[in-house]
């Protein structure tokens, strides 16, 4: 990967674009497949529900025809007289002459219509009048009607003999050859010798007593009758075709054999006699459950739904099936996937080109920044980037210019600090010299004080010289105190934190400055609390804190004023010190910055801006706090707090 930055960016954009495209493609293909399958399965569920409605509607119409026939004629009187000649024309008119016979006024014609008495004995067969006297008592539908005295309707299996007895013309439809398949061989199916009949029975009751007199039984043989399946295809799929094939198909199975279907074979014949798959047979026929899924039906793949058909006793006697040609949805799915791939690929190309373009703008701007940093590194701190609003790097340009400006400011401040450090070195040397001078002066002062005291002792009380000698002793002691203060100030801080009395520290600091010229015209007032506990600190550092505060206060009161120093207890564990001046005060906008290094409100050359920052640092190291309250024109108050010795875990 020894590539330059521009090549790396291009390579990275290419990889990121390809990975994004591949991921988007995989997700979109998965989503398309999932949504397509879900949509088709949802549709076939709706289709099978519609098919059930059409199927049950046919059952209801058969029952309606039989009910209308039973109620339109006085069957009770006919049965008593055993004279069926009057009924024969009307009942025979309800028998169709073939599967292609059109229905009457939307109501189906029947394949069988039989009148039985109260014991189930056949009194009259409309399709076979010569066959009478046999009993239908064992017929489940007739038996249910006899017991409940109510109309019943269901789909039943009738044997070849029963069908031919009811209507001899049904013989060619009752027998059906079964196409050889492994399932057909397994369940022993070679030929159907019975039929699936949509059957209804309507009770005939005595109008006065309500006694059961018999029943009118009729039905339609489904075998080789494609009226229902074609009605389903027409209603649900509107006879839609795709590449010459029906988009939707429907089938009625007797057991596992197609007896009514519009599924076509390869030679374009209805697939009557073909057998469904073993998987579907086990699921629907044996378990009595619906089956939804992809299945190969005769010659093509379909998305299918199979639902069981039950007889009156709750046994599965057949299957109602609907299916949608998978090829249509498969092609739609492929087209959608290819379209998605095309859009994704185009998007990847555009994204890569745009990424490359913007990457190049970044590289160009990096080169500009590199040139600018080289200029700064060479010492040209006044170098500035021109604003570039077009490329969108204006924010970075502003940040760079601010950085350069800040570097220049810090460089200037470092120069000032260097000067200040040089001054500090001179002050340090001065302190050492002051210490030496103080030691040299201290000895003569001691001699002057000793001999003055001896002279005072020898003078009589009434001597006029006595007052002058006392002045000499007083001034000598005052000089000793000043010399001692110089020694204390020149002493190098030890860094040891020991118990100290804050009132004593303040007094020592005041002695160092109160007689200086800057304090002329300033009234100094102290309000020290008595019996203050010790605080833990470095006495030299604390003196430095108060010296800075006193000198700042004097600077703020050049025309005179009042300096008030007060100490007190705050709570049980904190000592508080307030330093208040009556000077010019601090502007509100400057208060948040006064403890920042190099920040000063004094005129140029009058201060370094380090004093209060040093004060803040020392107070922090003593685990104390410092804050300021000020009103412009009325003065300033610094409030310091220190934990008492032993008052905190760290003390």
pLDDT in tens, 220-252: 999 999 999 999 999 988 888 888 788 889 999
> pLDDT at residue 40 above 90?
no
Cα–Cα distance, 503 to 576 (Å, whole number): 11
Residue 259, CA atoms < 13 Å, CB-side half-sphere: 27
Cα–Cα distance, 131 to 188 (Å, whole number): 33
Distance of CA 95 to the CA centre of its chain: 69
Which residues, listed in sequence order, are joined to residue 322 by a DSSP beta bridge? 250, 305
- Contact between 630 and 637 under an 8 Å Cβ cutoff? The reply is yes
In the chain, % of residues over pLDDT 70: 86
Radius of gyration of the chain (CA): 58
Residue among 305, 303, 217 nearest 37 (CA): 303
Domain 395-492 has CATH 1.10.3470: no
Region(s) of the chain under CATH 1.10.287: 395-492
Domain at 493-651: CATH architecture: 2-Layer Sandwich (3.30)
The pLDDT value given to residue 6: 66
Highest mean pLDDT among 179-188, 239-248, 525-534, 614-623: 525-534
- Contact between 285 and 308 under an 8 Å Cβ cutoff? The reply is yes
Confidence of residue 78 (pLDDT cuts 50, 70, 90): confident
Structure tokens, 360: 């190049």
Flag the least confident range among 112-121, 235-244, 352-361.
Answer: 352-361
Region(s) of the chain under CATH 3.30.565.10: 493-651
Per-residue b or e along 343-365, where b marks 16 or more CB atoms closer than 10 Å to that residue's CB: ebeeebeeebeebeeebeeeeeb
Region(s) of the chain under CATH 3.30.450.20: 74-221
Phi, psi (rounded to 5 degrees) for 262: -115, 15
Instruction: Determine the 3-state secondary structure of 360 from DSSP.
Output: helix
Structure tokens, 339: 């379209």
Residue with tokens 């970075």: 396
Beta-strand relationship, 248-254 and 316-325 = antiparallel
Residue among 264, 263, 262, 293 nearest 279 (CA): 293
* CA 266 vs CA 66, 147, 413, 513: distances in Å: 40, 50, 98, 120
Highest mean pLDDT among 183-197, 276-290, 349-363, 416-430: 276-290
* Mean pLDDT estimate for the chain: 82
**Domain 74-221 CATH (choose: 3.10.20.30, 3.30.450.20, 3.20.20.30, 3.90.79.10):** 3.30.450.20
Residue among 34, 152, 167 nearest 109 (CA): 167
Report the first-to-last Cα separation within the chain, whole angstroms.
60
Q: What's this model's pTM, rounded to 2 decimal places?
A: 0.53
> pLDDT at residue 598 above 70?
no
Cα–Cα distance, 106 to 41 (Å, whole number): 32
Any idea how long the chain is?
651
Mean predicted confidence (pLDDT) in 478-502 = 69
> pLDDT at residue 491 above 70?
no
Tell me how many degrees the CA angle 284-300-185 measures, rounded to the nearest 5.
50
Cα–Cα distance, 117 to 140 (Å, whole number): 15
DSSP assignment letter at 429: H
- Contact between 271 and 261 under an 8 Å Cβ cutoff? The reply is yes
Structure tokens, 220: 């339609």
Highest mean pLDDT among 61-75, 119-133, 306-320: 306-320
Cα–Cα distance, 338 to 335 (Å, whole number): 5
């Amino acid at each position: 990967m020894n590539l330059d930055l521009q090549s790396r960016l291009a390579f990275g954009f290419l990889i990121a674009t390809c990975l994004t495209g591949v991921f988007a493609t995989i997700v979109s293909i998965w989503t398309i497949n999932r949504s397509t399958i879900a949509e088709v399965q949802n549709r076939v569920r709706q289709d099978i529900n519609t098919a059930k409605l059409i199927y049950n509607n046919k059952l209801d119409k058969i029952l309606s025809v039989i009910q209308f026939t039973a109620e339109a004629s006085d069957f009770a009187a006919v049965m008593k007289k055993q004279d069926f000649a009057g009924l024969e024309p009307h009942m025979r008119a309800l028998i169709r002459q073939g599967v292609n016979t059109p229905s009457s006024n939307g109501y189906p014609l029947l394949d069988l219509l039989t009148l039985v008495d109260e014991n189930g004995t056949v009194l009259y067969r409309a399709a076979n009048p010569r066959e009478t006297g046999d009993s239908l008592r064992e017929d489940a539908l007739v038996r249910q009607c006899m017991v409940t005295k109510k109309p019943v309707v269901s789909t039943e299996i009738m044997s070849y003999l029963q069908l031919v007895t009811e209507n001899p013309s049904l013989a060619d439809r009752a027998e059906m050859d079964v196409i050889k398949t492994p399932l057909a061989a397994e369940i022993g199916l070679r030929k159907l010798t019975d039929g699936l009949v949509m059957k209804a029975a309507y009770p005939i009751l005595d109008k006065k007593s309500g006694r059961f007199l018999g029943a009118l039984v009729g039905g339609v043989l489904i075998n080789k009758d494609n009226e229902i399946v074609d009605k389903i295809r027409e209603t649900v799929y509107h006879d839609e075709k795709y590449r010459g094939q029906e988009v939707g198909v429907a089938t009625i199975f007797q057991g596992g054999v197609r007896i009514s279907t519009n599924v076509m074979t390869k030679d374009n014949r209805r697939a009557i006699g073909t057998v469904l798959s073993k998987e579907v047979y086990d699921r629907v026929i044996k378990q009595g459950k619906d089956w939804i899924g992809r299945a190969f039906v005769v010659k093509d793949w379909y998305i299918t739904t199979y639902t069981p058909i039950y007889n009156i006793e709750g046994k599965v006697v057949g299957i109602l099936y609907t299916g949608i040609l998978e090829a249509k949805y498969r092609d739609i799915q492929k087209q959608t996937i290819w379209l998605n791939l095309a859009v994704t690929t185009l998007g990847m190309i555009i994204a890569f080109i745009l990424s490359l373009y913007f990457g190049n703008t970044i590289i160009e701007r990096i080169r500009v920044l590199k040139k600018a940093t080289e200029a700064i590194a060479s010492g040209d701190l006044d170098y500035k980037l021109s604003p570039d609003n077009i490329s969108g790097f204006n924010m970075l340009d502003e940040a760079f210019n601010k950085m350069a400006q800040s570097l220049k400011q810090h460089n200037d401040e470092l120069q000032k600090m260097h000067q200040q450090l040089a001054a500090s070195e001179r002050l340090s040397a001065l302190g050492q010299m002051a210490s030496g001078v103080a030691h040299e002066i201290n000895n003569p002062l001691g001699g002057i004080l000793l001999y003055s005291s001896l002279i005072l002792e020898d003078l009589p009380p009434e001597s006029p010289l006595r007052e002058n000698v006392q002045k000499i002793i007083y001034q000598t002691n005052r000089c000793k105190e000043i010399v001692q203060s110089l020694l204390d100030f020149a002493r190098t801080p030890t860094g040891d934190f020991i118990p100290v009395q804050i009132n004593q520290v303040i007094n020592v600091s005041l002695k160092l400055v109160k007689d200086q010229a800057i304090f002329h015209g300033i009234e100094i007032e102290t309000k020290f609390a008595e019996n203050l506990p010790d605080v833990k600190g470095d006495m030299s550092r604390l003196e430095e804190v108060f010296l800075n505060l006193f000198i700042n206060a004097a600077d703020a009161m050049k025309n005179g004023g009042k300096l008030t120093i007060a100490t007190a207890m705050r709570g049980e564990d904190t000592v508080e010190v307030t330093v208040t001046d009556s000077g010019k005060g601090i502007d509100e906008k400057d208060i948040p910055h006064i403890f920042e290094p190099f920040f000063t409100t004094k005129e140029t050359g009058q201060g370094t801006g380090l004093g209060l920052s040093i004060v803040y640092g020392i107070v922090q190291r003593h685990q104390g706090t410092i804050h300021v309250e000020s009103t412009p024109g009325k003065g300033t108050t610094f409030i310091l707090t220190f934990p008492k010795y032993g008052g905190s875990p760290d003390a």
